[in-house]
Amino acid sequence: MRRTRRTQSWVDIERVMVIRRRGTSVTAWCRYCARAVPMSTDDEAAAAAGVTRSAMCSLAYTQALHSAEAPGGVLIICLESLQKYLLGERS
C-alpha cells in the first residue's frame, strides 16, 4: 500500500506601523513633500522611532528625513518621511 503525504503552507505578510505622538504635533509645510504634513519635534520623533535624539538629528541633517526649523530654533521632523524611512522606502 502506497501512502501520499501532502503539505500545504500559507504565508501572509502584512506590515503595519503606527506612530503615536505624546506631545502636540503640528501640521506644517514640508518643502520636500510639497504639501502640509504632520510634523513632530526631534525628541518626539526619536522616541517614536526608538532611536536617540542625536541619531534623529543626524538623519535630518543628512537629509535622510525631511525636516525644518520651527520658530525658536526647534527642529521638526516630517512624520511621513519618518514612516517611509522606517519602512525602508527612500524618498
Confidence (pLDDT) at 14: 58
pLDDT (tens digit, 0 to 9) for every residue of the chain, 91 residues total? 677 777 776 666 655 555 555 556 788 999 999 999 999 999 998 988 889 999 999 999 999 999 998 888 889 999 999 999 988 865 4
Query: Which CA distances in Å does 68 have to 1, 35, 72, 82?
Result: 74, 13, 12, 13
Confidence (pLDDT) at 81: 94
Confidence (pLDDT) at 59: 93
CA atoms within 13 A on the CB side of 17: 14
From the number of C-beta atoms within 10 Å of its C-beta (0-12, 13-18, 19+), residue 37 rates as middle
Domain 26-86 part of CATH 1.10.1660 = yes
pTM, two decimals, is: 0.70
Residue identified by cell 501512502 is 3
